[in-house]
Chain A
Amino acid sequence: AQSVSQHNHHVILSEAASLELGCNYSYGGTVNLFWYVQYPGQHLQLLLKYFSGDPLVKGIKGFEAEFIKSKFSFNLRKPSVQWSDTAEYFCAVNSGTYKYIFGTGTRLKVLA
């Protein structure tokens, strides 16, 4: 069965620190990959997505992610985090069906 692993469950950083959140998936075929963010008290919203083309994708608020097919990974990065990035981040995979598979999420806390 397809699955998505997010290895970091809780991350605490100081402002201006660099961020990398890991995401690995288990599926050998063509995939569409997503990162969603859920700010406190708000709904899940799309941060960025990959479905074809350049494996380095850029999203909103300075986030980017790199799809490495050989490693089944889609890690999220941001060079310098801000206090307002405090949120929960979810990686998701879709293999061309109705099934969007989500990871367990990573709670990021940024200290001012």
Chain B
Amino acid sequence: ETGVTQTPRHLVMGMTNKKSLKCEQHLGHNAMYWYKQSAKKPLELMFVYSLEERVENNSVPSRFSPECPNSSHLFLHLHTLQPEDSALYLCASSQSDRFSYEQYFGPGTRLTVT
């Protein structure tokens, strides 16, 4: 059983909608990540939070807005998305001071933008 949960698992939204993805980790980690997984592409790192502070924003369009209210929760707020934003969005967590340690991933949210 994964220690990282994500909701919803599937989301279909129109280009004018606003929705949020939620991630929660139960592992006591202090770094959390959002990735975009598209077919035939490497996982794309979107955002990184360490100790609730954003430390990486990998040139992501402003229609994606992250929020990390505490070390266990991470949100990705979505608005006015484009069809090319359809993908699997993965959340991960790790220990921020131990990069030799692996990341733990959630099951992902399959997003379809119509």
Contact = CB atoms under 8 A, between A and B. Distances in A.
Are A and B subunits of one complex? yes
Interface in A12-34: 32, 34
Given A42-B107, A104-B41, A97 B102 contact: no
Interface residues of A, number: 26
B2 interface: yes
Contacts of B2: 43, 45
B95 to A, nearest CB: 11
B100 A102 contact: no
A103 B108 CA distance: 18
Contacts of A49: 100, 102
A94 B99 contact: yes
A98 B31 contact: yes
B99 A45 contact: no
Given A98-B31, A98-B50, A99-B56, A44 B105 contact: yes
B56 A98 contact: yes
Contacts of B56: 98-99
Interface string A82-112: 0000000010001111111111110000000
Contacts of B92: 44
A76 to B, nearest CB: 15
B55 interface: yes
B13 interface: no
A68 interface: no
Contacts of B68: none
A100 B48 CA distance: 11
A63 interface: no
Interface of B: 2, 4, 31, 33, 40-43, 45, 48, 50, 55-56, 90, 92, 96, 99-100, 102-103, 105-108
Interface of A: 4, 9, 32, 34, 36, 42-46, 49, 51-52, 90, 94-105
